Amino acid sequence: MSTLAIDARDGSRFRSNHGARAKPLVCEHCGAPVRDSDSRFCCTGCERVNALLIEGGLERYYDLRNGSGQAVDEGQRHADDKWVSLVEAELRDRSGLSLLALDVDGLHCAGCVWLLEELFRRTGAVGRIVVNPARGSADLWVLPDFPLTKLVGDAAAIGYRFGPRKKGELGSSSLILRMGICIALAMNAMIFAISIYAGLETGPLAKLFHYLCFGLALASFAVGGTVFVRGAWRALGRGMLHLDLPIALGILLGYTGSTVSLFASGGRDSYFDTLTVFIALMLVGRFLRERVLEKNRSQLLEDVGPSTLLVRRVAPVGDEGSRVEIVSATEVRAGDRLLVAPGDVVPTRARLESPEGTISLDWITGEAEPKRIAKGDAIVAGAANAGTSALEVEATGTLDASGLLDLLRVPRATDRYGDVATPFEARLSKIWVVLVLMAAAAGAAGWLAFTGEPQLALGVAVGVLVVTCPCAFGIATPIAHELVLGGLRQAGLLVRSASFLERARAVRKVVFDKTGTLTTGSLRLADERAVAQIDGESLRLLFNLAARSSHPQSAAVRAAIPPA
């Protein structure tokens, strides 16, 4: 018997070792099973990538990779990268080295990192790249003339997709770092505390362990505890009682009491280990809240921000020529000529330059009937081209002054109330915090009156503050708010104010100013029996005419014609 194996670097088909059972054929690039025994690759994508790597002298990738490579999606290699031109335009306006923070899809091993670093080096540009395969990200320090299009294209050709850094990435990374450090500090503090719990109460070793726990708790407070202290302090500065307040008080009183116990009585009543665990758990709760909020904002709300709204601008070339370029809507200035394709939205106030056209304002005014306009007529921002051909318009304003952003913007839960998601949470926070502080103060006063020992009274106050931690409220209320807003948007209801849900409870009567608001937004034939009286050939011609038009009346006729 013989063993069949593949060498991706020398191009040979097999290596044969007698005396062993034959292994199944696998792709030379990604290691996936090969269906055709005469083929060396599982797909044309992997075959092209392998050829590119060998032709470019990048076959060292196969030495550095861990396990199999990545299968290449042929369609992915030609995906839309309009964002690249926008980033390059912004980069050209800068001076000196600039940081480009990008996401990378397809990273999985050291070979991938080396490959991207080598592609960056071969651009010949000054700067450096730092690739993080664990996070799927790449940080590039580059000059204004950096050929980003070349790097993105070369990477896409071998299966790696660059993209703009997702929103919230930096904030989450900072919280993850704090959480990781505090968890490590808590684990070490618990290791030292186990010996004390097991009976090591006196002696130099016990004293050493107490001081080590003191230092670990101090580091945990500096890294993680300050997150809650700053949040509580900012809220107090705005005259609010935030849910961070009892957490911050618990941390401060706990650390103060333990420190006093350490230096006054050798640490007999100190609980630095418990404090480090408490801080770590609070950071885990905060991380879960932020992570879920970011996920739901990106998946449910799908905010169409100004940087993602792309338009076609007609740019002059030479004396009489012109070309169409895709730019961000934020770059449009008064006097720019725009080409609006059927179904596209006019991003700014504009004036029609084409002989005539048809626009739709249904998502702005609620009227489904398209409006016919002639050359020179004004067009409001947000109007959609409801015709069958592209319209040429001249912008008479900018996106910022158009009011379109107010229609597109998705309200965040923190738009009006800072760190507090809703008025309901603001009231809940105030009531909860007041009750918790009263309970902690009453408990401490009672123990102090009956025992006369301040240390015990302080322990009771800290215990009340810790046990009543409002993590469930802090996580549940903003998440529920975001889910409801996202669900309403998916159902077709555009919520323009974050306080809508709170104010909607007081609504008793709704007044509509026009009947169009109450209709379905689409026309239909009043009597479909007329369609049944049309002969077959005429009906086919009518359907073909209606199918080629985006007019609402054509859509109504098309829907009334029965399928052949």
The pLDDT tens digits for 36-45 are 666 676 655 5
d(CA 473, CA 486): 20
pLDDT in tens, 281-325: 888 888 877 776 666 555 544 444 555 577 888 887 766 667 777
What's the pLDDT at 58? 67
pLDDT higher at 337 or 522? 337
What's the pLDDT at 73? 46
Residue 194 in 3-state DSSP?
helix
Q: Would the CA dihedral through 77, 78, 81, 84 be positive or negative?
A: positive
Which structure tokens are listed for 464?
């009340």
Residue 166 buriedness (CB in 10 A; 0-12 / 13-18 / 19+): middle
> Would you put residue 168 in left (φ > 0), alpha (ψ -120 to 50) or beta?
left
Identify the residue whose tokens are 């910022």.
400
Report which residue type is found at 477. T
pLDDT band at 205 (very low <50, low <70, confident <90, very high): confident
Q: Is the pLDDT score of 416 beyond 50?
A: no
Report which residue type is found at 23. K
Q: Is the pLDDT score of 268 beyond 60?
A: yes
Q: Give me the residues paired with residue 132 across strands.
A: 137
pLDDT band at 331 (very low <50, low <70, confident <90, very high): confident
Q: Is the pLDDT score of 63 beyond 70?
A: no
Q: If you average pLDDT over every residue of the chain, what do you get?
A: 74
d(CA 336, CA 179): 50
Q: Is the pLDDT score of 238 beyond 80?
A: no
Helices (H), 385-535: 404-408, 423-451, 454-467, 471-490, 500-504, 529-532
Q: Would the CA dihedral through 99, 101, 105, 111 be positive or negative?
A: positive
Residue 388 in 3-state DSSP?
coil
Which structure tokens are listed for 310?
């792309």
What's the pLDDT at 181? 93
d(CA 186, CA 395): 60
Report which residue type is found at 86. L
Residue 499 in 3-state DSSP?
coil
pLDDT in tens, 470-481: 666 666 666 677
**Of 137-141, 293-297, 300-304, 439-443, which range is least confident?**
300-304
Which structure tokens are listed for 67?
């396990």
pLDDT band at 183 (very low <50, low <70, confident <90, very high): very high
Which structure tokens are listed for 546?
């209606």
Q: Is the pLDDT score of 185 beyond 90?
A: yes
What's the pLDDT at 184? 94
Residue 206 buriedness (CB in 10 A; 0-12 / 13-18 / 19+): middle
**Of 16-20, 410-414, 474-478, 510-514, which range is least confident?**
16-20
Residues whose CB falls within 8 Å of the CB of residue 394, separated by 6 or more in sequence, listed in order = 335, 336, 337, 338, 350, 351, 353
Q: Can you list the positions of beta strands (E) in 244-341?
A: 310-317, 321-328, 337-340
Q: Decide: pTM greater than 0.85.
A: no
d(CA 54, CA 7): 13
- The mean pLDDT value for 218-225 works out to 92
What's the pLDDT at 7? 39
Question: How far from chain centre, in Å, is Cα 275?
Answer: 33
Q: Give me the residues paired with residue 128 across strands.
A: 141
d(CA 529, CA 552): 20
Cβ atoms of 431 and 424 closer than 8 Å: no
d(CA 59, CA 28): 12
Q: Integer distance in angstroms from the first to the last C-alpha of the chain?
A: 62
Which structure tokens are listed for 56?
């470019």
pLDDT band at 371 (very low <50, low <70, confident <90, very high): confident
Q: Is the pLDDT score of 115 beyond 50?
A: yes
What's the pLDDT at 390? 82
Cβ atoms of 448 and 454 closer than 8 Å: yes
Q: Give me the residues paired with residue 322 across strands.
A: 316
| String of DSSP letters for 16-60 | EEETSPPPPPB-TTT-PBPSSTT-SSSSHHHHHHHHHHHHTT-TT
d(CA 287, CA 174): 10
Nearest to 247 by CA among 472, 443, 465, 418: 465
Q: Is the pLDDT score of 182 beyond 80?
A: yes
**Of 57-61, 263-267, 346-350, 454-458, which range is least confident?**
57-61
> Would you put residue 403 in left (φ > 0), alpha (ψ -120 to 50) or beta?
left
